[in-house]
Amino acid sequence: MDFRVPKHNTPAATLIKNYQNRKSGKVTVSRREIQQRFNGMEWRHQKKILLAFINASASDREWASRKMFAFWDNCFIPVVKTLWEQYHEISLSWLILRYFPKEYLKDNMDSLSKGRNYYYLCQRLIDEEDFCVDKNRLYESDMMQLFKIMKTPVSDDAIIEVFFSMVAKICKGVYKSSHMYNWDIDDDGHSELSILSNRKVSNILFDIEYALGRRTLADKIRMWSSKVMQEAKESDQYRMILQMNSQGHDSQHEYLSLIKKYCLKHLYLDETDVEETDFELRSSQMYEKKNDLTTLHSILNNMQMANPAIYKLMNSFSLEIVVPFPF
């Protein structure tokens, strides 16, 4: 039987030497073996490898940057600074945002804060007196994370602003969480569904109550939601949806539209009214807006009560009632 003797590992020092010597003919094979063995090498070899790779090609520099993120040493600061100012690569910016002194971040804020980097910049500078967060550049969930790491207590007003900003965006369809699959809907019906059933909204409410310890504020939000839904359930639209549902029509879309409408109507805790929005009668062939809700609902209800076949006829023409938003 032919027994093959396993190949011995090339010494790390030799691999580094061959990788750096572009005339060795072993750059590619040395690179591959270094990357495969890197995590198990001694720190003295890892440091040499990282410095060699970060000063090489763009792909090797990116690999070294990602490794440096986990295997950091302050001795890397000068070389990373030089390369960042030369290339402005995203992988180098991560190292700066995580490990560089705050003063350097402040001096280079514009170049370091592009895209998603702005959130991580805020994480480092949130407690600096001369730093002001631009909330328009952050998701509401980001702001909640910043609230949790701030050393100074955050006000209830600031928390409320973030919460209702999320609610408004959900209702307007800004986030994908406005889609059906991002709502927790029970199998028995929709009677208990509210804006708090949206997963993004419920996650923020959870953070308000537990991460920030604002139980009273969370209860106040729940009371607001209950009051909004109570008004929605007293509406003609809701009664029509229940009738449609009882006749086998899947009314989840209409129900969610109703929730969004009434949340927009009472968007803040002071329940400042906004202009009423009309329902829209939508068909596959035409769009017709009806301004008089009372007349529209009365006509449809009377027609269906007088003759249930009218509902089947409406379905045959693909007619459904949805809520347009006022924007």
3-state secondary structure of 272: coil
Please state which of the ranges 63-72, 122-131, 197-206, 290-299 shows the lowest mean pLDDT: 290-299
User: Maximum distance among all alpha carbons in the chain?
Assistant: 93
143 and 262 both lie in a single domain:
yes
pLDDT higher than threshold 90 for residue 27: yes
145 and 257 both lie in a single domain:
yes
- Predicted structure pTM score: 0.74
Between 58 and 295, the more confident residue is 58
Reported as a single tens digit per residue, the pLDDT across 102-157 is 999 999 999 999 999 999 999 999 999 999 999 999 999 999 999 999 999 999 99
Query: What mean pLDDT value characterizes the chain?
Result: 81
| Domain encompassing residue 91 | 1-100
146 and 238 both lie in a single domain:
yes
Which of 70, 100, 130 is where one domain is finished?
100
Quick one: average pLDDT of 1-9?
A: 63
Pair of tokens at residue 55: 């000063």
Residues whose CB falls within 8 Å of the CB of residue 248, separated by 6 or more in sequence, listed in order? none
202 and 86 both lie in a single domain:
no
Q: Which residues pair with 289 in a beta bridge?
A: 280
Reported as a single tens digit per residue, the pLDDT across 88-116 is 999 999 999 999 999 999 999 999 999 99
d(CA 296, CA 240) in angstroms, rounded, equals: 11
149 and 42 both lie in a single domain:
no
153 and 91 both lie in a single domain:
no
pLDDT higher than threshold 80 for residue 208: yes
Inside any domain, residue 300:
no
Inside any domain, residue 302:
no
Identify the band that residue 267 occupies on the pLDDT scale cut at 50, 70 and 90.
confident
d(CA 107, CA 125) in angstroms, rounded, equals: 12
Q: What is the pLDDT of residue 308?
A: 53
How many residues belong to the chain? 327
Please state which of the ranges 37-51, 282-296, 298-312 shows the lowest mean pLDDT: 282-296
Of 240, 236, 258, the residue nearest 249 (C-alpha): 240
Quick one: average pLDDT of 56-71?
A: 96
Inside any domain, residue 155:
yes
Number of domains in the chain: 2
Inside any domain, residue 318:
no
Which of 48, 83, 100 is where one domain is finished?
100
35 and 145 both lie in a single domain:
no
Which of 72, 100, 128 is where one domain is finished?
100
Encode 303-327: b = buried (16+ Cβ within 10 Å), e = exposed: ebeeeeeebeebeeeebbbebeeee
Q: What is the pLDDT of residue 296?
A: 46
Q: CA 318, 319, 320: angle at the middle one, nearest 5?
A: 120
Q: Is 175 exposed, middle or buried (0-12, 13-18, 19+ CB in 10 A)?
A: middle
% pLDDT > 70, the chain: 76
d(CA 242, CA 227) in angstroms, rounded, equals: 19
Reported as a single tens digit per residue, the pLDDT across 162-187 is 999 999 999 998 887 666 678 886 65
